[in-house]
Amino acid sequence: MTLSSSNQTSPIPLLTDEYLRHILEDSLEYAVVALDPAGMIVSWSPTAEKLFGYPAAEVLGQSGKIIFTEEDRRNGVPEEEMTLALEKGRAADERWHARKDGSLFFGSGAMTPIRAEAGEFLGFVKAVRDRTDYKKTVDSMKEKARLISLANLIVRDRDNKIVFWSKGAVEDFGFTQEEALGKISHELLKTEFPVPLAHIEEEFKRLGHWQGELISTTKGGRKVASASRWVANLGPDQTVSTILEVNNDITTRRKAEQERQEALAKLNILLANAPVGIGFLDQDLRYVHVNEALAEMNGRPVPDHIGRRVQDVLPGADGLLERLLEEVVNSKEAQLNRELSTGELGIQGPGRYFSANFFPVFTESKQLLGVGTIVWDITDQKQTRGKIKRILESITDMYLSLDSEGRVIDINSKAQAFMNEPREALIGKVLWEVLPYVKTNSQLPLQRALAERTPVHFEAESTMAPGRWSEVHAYPTETGLEVYFREITGRKQAEGKLIERGKRLGQSNRELEQFAYAASHDLQGPLRTITNFADLAAEKIGAGQWDGATEFLRRISAAAERMSKLISDLLAFARLGSFKGHAGAGVDLNSVLRDVKNDLDQSIGQTGAEIQSEPLPVVKADSALMHELLQNLIGNAIKYHSSERPRIRLKASRTGSFWEISVEDNGIGFDPKYKETIFDVFTRLHGSGRYEGSGMGLAICKRIVERYGGQIWAESVPGKGSTFHFTLPAATESKSAK
């Protein structure tokens, strides 16, 4: 028989071999590949086609190495296999093989050399089948076995003597297999059982298994906690033959658990002793946790809360608390600093105030768990605040409290009324931004007090209501400014009046001095005349010369008369000082002028004076005084006439609320340097011999005009004439004039 290459259709000579045929016929599972002595493929069975993915035509004549993995080819595995097959007559083939598409399968089979009957070497036959699944199962079992050997496994006989002691047990408990085998396990490990051993054994017998936590002592004396599971292994007689014990070290878990418990216990103590009320409610608003303080605030013991809905615990709250908590659940947002009173919550006993925070509580995955509540008793604060508020309301001052930015925190009702703004318009607003008059008058000093932390005191006038004054005292605090202020308009007005009066008093004192001086000086004149002539008259009479005395007596009489005139003028002037004047509806100066002209009829006739007047206004003044004023000015204009016939002109013009009236003449005039002093008492520029007069006329005029808030002044060109101007307030309704 010969081994020859042939295509797949031609019968393979090798198949005549009994052995090969047997393989082929027996099992289609096997891929059968025949190789020539050089290792080239000469036959390729249909199963080989399927298993390796190559059609026969593609591989015949190719190297048999193609079915090996790349790594095996690199390592010379195909050659090794052939050598081994030749040497031993068979080479087992248990390895990963490669398919045409590159995927691998685990193959199991053998390679056998083929010889002719004469012993001539013809080639090899390789038979392989896919054992991938099997391989995987074996591998995983091996892994399991490895893990089991690592686990803490003990097998005891029914007397608890150790018959198996795993690697894991060695590692966990420290005893070697030699030390452990044959010992009673709970004696070796000084096991601490959670319940007496007898109970455990009784349960184990009944159920065939047991589990629980044990504490064992290692060889090194360390305590180890383990979760232990026992399973009975029944013998043929259905009684327990051995006990399999699996232990899991839970020391770290136990420790962590213990620490957690301790932390929780501490937290509980903390919560229980906290001086604030702390509670937690689930989503249905049932109390889950309540500390003593909260229970005390609610007026019910802790157990009365747990598991009960909020409205059942505090039915008197009329749903208030329930609504607040529901809002937190719905909005998932906290309700902070809610002020609640025992009254609102329907809690019996003395009135108390609470400040409560209600906030949503979430799990780590942001799921709503319920509502937390923290409550403070603020009764004391509230009462103190109330007291302070009452004090601030009862003080006479207006009061404001500002924060560091000047925002209004508090205000008493007096200040509010003064500012004429509702409370809401002011609270929380920067004072000088809402009130423009504070901005203009008080912002700077208040800001200075805040910035420099120094008290400031100042007076400010309201620009809204000019004339309204306040006195402000501002004191910095830790957080802002306390401002006290009061209206001082009355005091300010009184002060103003006082100053005005002082001024007038000063003026009147000066006038009095002048007056006294002038009076003593001017009255001395006629008095001296009288004394002199009286002496002369006495001499004459003593000498019996009665006729000579008559002349002296006449002169004495004239001086006395002059003195009397002076005195009466003085009296008139002095009276003016206290004369209030009655400025009724107003005086028509045209009619006053008419009367004055009548009175001056004689001198007008004597001098041939001509008086012209524009229509004169109605002024707010007293008619008698107006008569006096015009009579003096026109009288002087006639009296101090020049050689020419006196021509007198009256004019009127309006300036604001005043009328200016001028009296112009063409008389002798006067030196302008006296234009001020001629208005003083007893000032006379033109000798007393030529012109009659007392020097009081212009002083009286000045006093009259000034009485009404007007002014009087004069201008003159000597030899040409003089003009006297005066102003008087216009009557509200001017009847005539322009």
State the Cα–Cα distance between residues 576 and 621, nearest whole angstrom: 14
Closer residue to ligand ADP (CB): 570 or 731: 570
Q: What count of Cα atoms within 13 Å lies in the side-chain half-sphere of residue 444? A: 5
Q: Among 20, 415, 549, 637, which residue interacts with ligand ADP (rule: CB under 6 A)?
A: 637
CA–CA separation, 292 and 278 (whole Å): 8
**313 vs 630, beta carbon nearer ligand ADP:** 630
The C-alpha atoms of residue 462 and residue 607 are separated, in whole angstroms, by 62
CA–CA distance, 274 with 277 (Å, rounded to integer) = 7
Indicate the SS3 state at residue 9: coil
Which residue is at the shortest CB distance from ligand ADP?
Answer: 693
For residue 508, the 8-state DSSP code is H
Question: How near is the Cβ of 542 to ligand ADP at its closest, in Å?
Answer: 38
- Going by C-alpha positions, the residue among 655, 586, 641, 654 that lies closest to residue 611 is 641
Contact 466, 425 (CB under 8 A): no
In the complex with ligand ADP, which residue's Cβ is closer, 375 or 593? 593
CA distance 81 to 64: 11
Nearer to ligand ADP, 106 or 670 (CB): 670
Q: Is 646 in the site for ligand ADP (CB under 6 A)?
A: no
Q: Is 636 in the site for ligand ADP (CB under 6 A)?
A: yes
722 binds ligand ADP (CB under 6 A): yes
Per-residue contact track with ligand ADP, 684 to 713, x per CB under 6 A? Answer: xxx------xxxxxxx--------------
Q: What minimum distance in Å lies between the beta carbon of 549 and ligand ADP?
A: 31
Give, as ranges, the residues between 668 and 687 that touch ligand ADP (CB under 6 A).
668-670, 678, 683-686
Residue-wise burial string across 645-671, b where 16 or more C-beta atoms lie within 10 A, e elsewhere:
ebbbbbebeeeeebbbbbbbbbbbbbe
Residue 653 touches ligand ADP, criterion: CB under 6 A: no
Minimum gap (Å) between residue 512 Cβ and ligand ADP: 18
Q: Is 553 helix (H, G, I), strand (E, B) or coil?
A: helix
Our finding on whether 631 is near ligand ADP (CB under 6 A) is no
Give the C-alpha separation, 558 to 563, whole Å.
8
Closest approach, Cβ 545 to ligand ADP, in A, equals 37
The window from 233-241, 286-294, 422-430, 633-641 that contacts ligand ADP (CB under 6 A) reads 633-641
CB closer to ligand ADP out of 64 and 693 = 693
Site string for ligand ADP, 177-216 (x = CB under 6 A): ----------------------------------------
Residue with smaller CB distance to ligand ADP, 129 or 562: 562
Beta bridge partners of 504: none
Yes or no: say if 561 and 530 are a contact pair by the CB < 8 Å rule.
no
Cβ distance to ligand ADP smaller for residue 112 or 722:
722
Question: Which segment (281-289, 412-420, 588-596, 662-670) binds ligand ADP by CB under 6 A?
Answer: 662-670
For ligand ADP, the binding residue among 667, 710, 731, 737 (CB under 6 A) is 667
Q: Helices 589-599 and 623-639: crossing angle, nearest 10°?
A: 50
Nearer to ligand ADP, 17 or 522 (CB): 522
User: How many Cβ atoms are within 10 Å of 392's Cβ, its own excluded?
Assistant: 21
Alpha helices by DSSP H, listed for 395-476, are 413-419, 423-426, 431-434, 436-441, 443-452
Shorter beta-carbon distance to ligand ADP: residue 297 or 648: 648
Which spans of this chain sit near ligand ADP (rule: CB under 6 A)? 632, 636-637, 640, 665, 667-670, 678, 683-686, 693-699, 722
